[in-house]
Structure 1
Amino acid sequence: MEQEADILATEEAEAGVEQQLLRGSRNRDGRGAEDAYEGPSPHAYDGAADELPAKKDNTWSAWLNRPSIAILLPPFLLLATAMGAAAVPRVNLYLTLICQDYYKERERNLPSGSFTPIKLVLGADNPECEVPEIAAKAAMFTLYINVIVGLLSAISSPRLGQLSDRYGRRRLMILSSCGSLIAEIMLIFCARFPDTITYWWLLLAEVFEGALGSFTLVLALTHSYATDCTSFAKRAAAFSFFHGCLFTGIAIGPAIGGYVIEKTDSLISVFYAVVVIHVSVLLYFGFILPESLSKAKQMLARDKWAEKQRKLAESSVSKWRLALRHMNIFEPLNILWPKSGHNLAKLRLNMILIAAIDFIMFGVGFGAMTVVILYSKIQFHWTTQFAAYYTSIVNSTRVFALFVILTVITRLFRKKPPPGTPAAGCDTLDTYLIRGALSIEVLGYSFFVLARSTPLFVVGGVVQSFGGIGSPTLQSALTKHSPADKTGHLLGVIALLHALARVIGPTAFNGIYYKTAESYPQATFTVLVGLFMCAWVAAWFITPHIAVEGAEEAVERDDGESAESQPLVARS
């Protein structure tokens, strides 16, 4: 009965929004819709369905038309699986293309007849390519790609994320997925016609992917979609669902990719399958996925944006200063420096430290991946299939840590606050989980530094994967330090930081490996151990239970149970 009352309250609130929008559009005294609106706040029922049917309807059609994370999880899992399946073959394909170009250049520069042509099998494990110089060139080329995608997505992601507040999440998901599809198609052309289309054309394809936000924006939009569909109390659990699906896809993807390569004896077949997945997901977004933001909320956001632009145009600020403000990609970071609140100094320190640690963990996870694959291939002579199976094992362990270990720890040790208790930052368990995850990361990368054989290196990867519980904990803890009505802004900032990490991480780690590949190839992992030690020290300065001003949402209760105990993927 309480849930039905919530649904009726939601419909009445949104009806009031739509009526006030119409009233605001007819206003003749110069006020916008934001000023004209005097009814219930459109955010009063955070997480409520935006366009629920008048009566409870459990039919299949009604379920598909009701926004929920259960509808978004399947295509997201497909995208993660495609990314995991193509990760190792992509690096090996880059290596073969660069190797082929390297030997062709040597053949052109040497006198005729003094060089024996080398026949390479594209994407196969060619022993001729397993030399440090070619591996270093491959690392630098991967660095160029990451810099292009990272910088462009850092610029575009916050703006596209804000655009989704005005025009809906679904449209922006479609737009961002198109960029990834273009990049995959170009890679197939380079692999099929290496003599005609040089691998440098891949950089142009990555320009499209980065300008449209890449997977970084897709991840942020899925979190925004989950924010629209769930209450504040369930938001952390929703994030963990997406993180779990992400690493599930990355875990099973390499195994699927390795199996496809083994059965078809063709590395390019993996990328054909990836293209099919991208097209299928685009069709799913376009024709099946319901929009999570109602027209009323979209129109309110558009009117607020128009009013803000009108005030800026009428202000005394010069046009060139306005242009510089629009070009400043760091302006959204202001949310990490709140202007008011209790214990303001500790609140700011918490937000900065948590964001910085999350930035490090994402940058290391993304930037060290290529180095691990190249290092293992050169040092231990791993085949493509074995590298794929290793990646699958490591990410399977990470999924186990997310779905089982983190869930059990939360159930056993997290104390439920009394009903009506306002949000008060991260709790003590969050800080313990963050410090524990960083300790595991230090131990895992220490194995990488010391390993001189495949078994010990694999053990290090498995140990390090348990540190995966840190990422959703950090992002959940960060949202607890901000009012609920600013969650979308905060998620845009997280996307911005992840995009920058995608540039800085690979730039630093690939650059280190490039310089030390011949003298001390373990240097990258040594730096990582030191970096995580610094993050571990910083985590001890995070203060739990810092009250957040403006976070009115309290712990919900339904029939004596907390909101977290209710089904996360059900909306009825």
Structure 2
Amino acid sequence: MSESTPLFNKPNATDHHRDADDLLETAVTDAYVGFLDDDDEDDDVDDEVLWIREQREQNKTLPWMKRPSVWMICLCTFLGSMATSAAEPTRTGMIFKLSCNYLMDKNKSSTCNPEETQVLVSNLSLATTLSMGLVTMIVSGKVGTLSDIYGRKLFVSVIIGSMILGKTILFFTLHHFNTLPFYSIITGDLVASLGGGIITLIALTNSYISDVVEAHERIYSLGLSIASLYIGLSIGPMVGNLLLTVPKRFLDKPHSSPDISEMKEIYTSSLKVISSTEFIPLRFEIGLLAIVFIYCVFVLPESRSEKARHRSRTLSRVSMSDIRQFREEEGNDCNRSPFDQVEQDSNCRNTVFGALFKVLDFFRPLLLLTLPADAVNPNRRYRIKKDRLAVIILVIIDCVNFGFSTAVGNITVLYGLYKFNWTSIDIGHFMTIACSSRAIVLIILSPMITHTLFHKKLQFKIFKRQFDMVDFSISVLGFSVEFLGFVLLYFARSSAALFVVFALQSIGSLTGPTLNSAIIKHYPESKVGAYFGAISILKNALSLLSPLIFVSFYKMSITEWHQPQLVFALLALISFIFLCLLIILKRLLNLDSNTTEDLLLRSQSISNSRRTSFSSETSDSSSFRDSLNASVFESDPETRYTSPVPGSSRGLSREFARSNSFLSNQVKSNKANAN
């Protein structure tokens, strides 16, 4: 054999080189694909965070009228709640009058029975509450996810628009009827809730705030959304009363909503005529909501950037394609060959599950509340079990706390009427104290407690991606004060004592925004709207059930045990259970003042290990790299293989791409020569 004879012509050498080439090609390709997979997974998260940070930095350069901010969205909540609360007392008085007229016309009598009137109004209230709750629950589950895709501004405008339409229907209904139009009132309330109602508006407000503020500012900022609601609810009735009294000398004698002490006169007098003055608060409500709608459409800036919305649309298309594939597979199961009728019938029965899947698809957003793996940052999946349990516990506490909070006000009013013979003036004082004290706590005391006390004085760290000691401390403080407050309410013996205790108990209002802020730390920014939409489903459901549960318990405490204050003992027990769950969660997460965020330590550990591993591998393969550089440099000096900058995964991927391309060409050349 001469020296010019190619070595590849020898059969054994050919097989040997083919094995080596295949092995080398496979190894480099696997390594390259592996690094690319890691990069793609991390880049999705990094790009998302980068977009949000870029958007927030860009927002700082915008004029204040075009800059999305907490105050811009809270203005919508404040004006919307003030508009509805300004008209609601007068509207309630109108409904009482029309109900009385309805019963007098039905019974052919000059008076109406108070018990029958109470039953009729209670049935109307129950029907509207259940129908509005169901519609709101259905809508809120979709609005959260869609707001991630199309933006918050659109759906805030839709909510306000549906409220305008529904309130307009109610206005003309009450204006044109002399007796109670039962179904027309329900229709008006249903239309007003088609956009999602006030609960969905609060959820969108929280999503909007989460888009524009950093993690360490969320507790205070989310508290501002609730504070704006409380301020609107406390100012609205005063504005409504002012609208009824000011036109007194210009129009006919105004008729405000009925006082509890004047109910007997209303029931026994003749046919009730609604004066034109009583419609002024209703006109004010519609006009103010129209101004809010114009503000939302033309002034309110969008909080989500176009890149973030595009990413959410992309993720939504991927999710919908998976659902279509599942449904197609279900349908194909029913189109099998008729030769096996038994198997076909069995598979066709599965269409029941397919139909059930379509029905239950509405509840699919609730799965997000269990912190699924696809909603977790890839760097945090090593501790997904702990985070998932933490999210579930916090969601349970938040939803149940919201549920019984909606019932506390009604029960306290009933208790005051029963125990202290409250009038409508006393009820107004109670509502003003309850709402204003909570607004003061959320606006003034919240930053002092959060930043000054826990963060600066006690040196508790604020984490961006997990439950921390600040969240724990504020939640424990809030529920401890609520527990003590309910115990004191159990022993309250006067209206003044009840008012004072309720004002002190307003510190418990810190728990709501704190829990919301703690939960959304575990989710990527693209899932914030979906989370608030999902949790609003549960909150709407509990807002329907909790009044029934607590009012039923309150009735039993009066009729069976003759101790109406027992309801406060039940509420104190629930607050104590919340405290126990928080302590369990603290021990589960090993939280204390010295705890550091696991994500930071884990990321540094992974980065260092990759760096060390790569350095070791490159040092062990130095001879291979030298020969590779020599070969590549002869063919193309620009494609010389060089070590990437340590810690740069993108540079590493590019270098693997270059080497993979070169090796693939070399292997193909060797195989061609071998053949």
Normalising by the smaller structure, the TM-score range is 0.7 to 0.9
Match of 2:47 among 41, 45, 53: 41
Confirm or deny: 8 A CA contact 2:148 2:527 kept in the other structure.
Answer: no
Confirm or deny: 8 A CA contact 1:158 1:495 kept in the other structure.
Answer: yes
Show CA shifts across 1:59-94 (max 9, x none).
xxx432232233223222211322443455555555
Match of 1:318 among 314, 319, 330: 330
The aligned residue for residue 517 of structure 2 is: 476
How many angstroms apart in 1 are the aligned matches of 2:488 and 2:394?
A: 26
How many angstroms apart in 1 are the aligned matches of 2:565 and 2:170?
A: 30
The aligned residue for residue 68 of structure 2 is: 67
The aligned residue for residue 537 of structure 2 is: 496
Q: Secondary structure at the match of 1:63?
A: coil
How many angstroms apart in 1 are the aligned matches of 2:90 and 2:566?
A: 25
Confirm or deny: 8 A CA contact 1:85 1:254 kept in the other structure.
Answer: yes
> Do residues 390 (structure 1) and 393 (structure 2) align?
no
What are the equivalent positions in structure 2 for 1:262-273 lying under 5 Å apart?
Answer: 262-264=245-247, 265-267=254-256, 268=278, 269-273=280-284
> Do residues 117 (structure 1) and 123 (structure 2) align?
no
> Do residues 337 (structure 1) and 370 (structure 2) align?
yes
Q: 1:390 is matched by which residue type in structure 2?
A: F
**Paired positions, count:** 497
Evaluate the alpha carbon distance shift between residue 182 and residue 501 of structure 1 in structure 2; reply closer, same or farther with a 3 A threshold: farther
> Do residues 444 (structure 1) and 485 (structure 2) align?
yes
How many angstroms apart in 2 are the aligned matches of 1:271 and 1:431?
A: 44
Shift of residue 345 of structure 1?
Answer: 4.3
Identical residues among aligned pairs (%): 22
Q: 1:80 is matched by which residue type in structure 2?
A: S
Shift of residue 101 of structure 1?
Answer: 4.4
Q: Secondary structure at the match of 2:301?
A: coil
The aligned residue for residue 614 of structure 2 is: none
What RMSD in Å do the two structures reach over aligned CA positions?
Answer: 3.8
Q: 1:270 is matched by which residue type in structure 2?
A: P
Q: 1:294 is matched by which residue type in structure 2?
A: S
Match of 2:397 among 317, 333, 357: 357
TM-score in terms of structure 2 length: 0.64
Evaluate the alpha carbon distance shift between residue 403 and residue 50 of structure 1 in structure 2; reply closer, same or farther with a 3 A threshold: closer
The aligned residue for residue 295 of structure 2 is: 284
The aligned residue for residue 130 of structure 2 is: 147
The aligned residue for residue 547 of structure 2 is: 506
Comparing 368-377 and 62-71, the one that deviates more? 368-377
Q: Secondary structure at the match of 2:304?
A: coil
Show CA shifts across 1:479-533 (max 9, x none).
2333444333322222222222221222323444566676655554454333333
Shift of residue 157 of structure 1?
Answer: 0.8
Show CA shifts across 1:152-205 (max 9, x none).
222211212211222221111111122222332343344434535524432222
> Do residues 309 (structure 1) and 320 (structure 2) align?
yes
Evaluate the alpha carbon distance shift between residue 101 and residue 379 of structure 1 in structure 2; reply closer, same or farther with a 3 A threshold: farther
Shift of residue 102 of structure 1?
Answer: 5.1
Comparing 44-53 and 207-216, the one that deviates more? 44-53
Q: Secondary structure at the match of 1:290?
A: coil
Evaluate the alpha carbon distance shift between residue 216 and residue 382 of structure 1 in structure 2; reply closer, same or farther with a 3 A threshold: same
Match of 2:309 among 282, 287, 298: 298
User: Unpaired runs of 5+ in structure 1?
Assistant: 1-33, 109-114, 119-127, 555-572
How many angstroms apart in 1 are the aligned matches of 2:430 and 2:412?
A: 11
The aligned residue for residue 559 of structure 1 is: none
> Do residues 464 (structure 1) and 470 (structure 2) align?
no
Evaluate the alpha carbon distance shift between residue 421 and residue 239 of structure 1 in structure 2; reply closer, same or farther with a 3 A threshold: closer
Q: Secondary structure at the match of 1:67?
A: coil
The aligned residue for residue 81 of structure 1 is: 82
TM-score in terms of structure 1 length: 0.75
Confirm or deny: 8 A CA contact 1:176 1:212 kept in the other structure.
Answer: yes
Evaluate the alpha carbon distance shift between residue 66 and residue 428 of structure 1 in structure 2; reply closer, same or farther with a 3 A threshold: closer
The aligned residue for residue 223 of structure 1 is: 206
The aligned residue for residue 143 of structure 2 is: 160
Confirm or deny: 8 A CA contact 2:139 2:194 kept in the other structure.
Answer: yes
How many angstroms apart in 2 are the aligned matches of 1:553 and 1:252?
A: 50
Shift of residue 356 of structure 1?
Answer: 1.4
* Higher radius of gyration, 1 or 2: 2
Comparing 214-223 and 383-392, the one that deviates more? 383-392
Evaluate the alpha carbon distance shift between residue 443 and residue 42 of structure 1 in structure 2; reply closer, same or farther with a 3 A threshold: closer
Shift of residue 295 of structure 1?
Answer: 3.5
How many angstroms apart in 2 are the aligned matches of 1:210 and 1:501?
A: 17
Evaluate the alpha carbon distance shift between residue 40 and residue 343 of structure 1 in structure 2; reply closer, same or farther with a 3 A threshold: closer
> Do residues 537 (structure 1) and 580 (structure 2) align?
yes
Show CA shifts across 1:190-223 (max 9, x none).
4434535524432222322333211111111122
Confirm or deny: 8 A CA contact 2:99 2:180 kept in the other structure.
Answer: no
Shift of residue 362 of structure 1?
Answer: 1.3
Q: 2:400 is matched by which residue type in structure 1?
A: I
Confirm or deny: 8 A CA contact 2:151 2:302 kept in the other structure.
Answer: yes
The aligned residue for residue 407 of structure 1 is: 447
The aligned residue for residue 238 of structure 2 is: 255
What are the equivalent positions in structure 2 for 1:200-215 lying under 5 Å apart?
Answer: 200-215=183-198
Shift of residue 280 of structure 1?
Answer: 0.9
> Do residues 180 (structure 1) and 213 (structure 2) align?
no
Q: 1:330 is matched by which residue type in structure 2?
A: F
Q: 2:528 is matched by which residue type in structure 1?
A: T
Evaluate the alpha carbon distance shift between residue 471 and residue 51 of structure 1 in structure 2; reply closer, same or farther with a 3 A threshold: closer
How many angstroms apart in 2 are the aligned matches of 1:409 and 1:279?
A: 38
Confirm or deny: 8 A CA contact 1:46 1:231 kept in the other structure.
Answer: no
Confirm or deny: 8 A CA contact 2:462 2:469 kept in the other structure.
Answer: no
Q: 2:287 is matched by which residue type in structure 1?
A: V
Q: 1:220 is matched by which residue type in structure 2?
A: A
Shift of residue 238 of structure 1?
Answer: 2.2
Confirm or deny: 8 A CA contact 1:367 1:506 kept in the other structure.
Answer: yes
Q: 1:299 is matched by which residue type in structure 2?
A: H
Comparing 374-383 and 292-301, the one that deviates more? 374-383
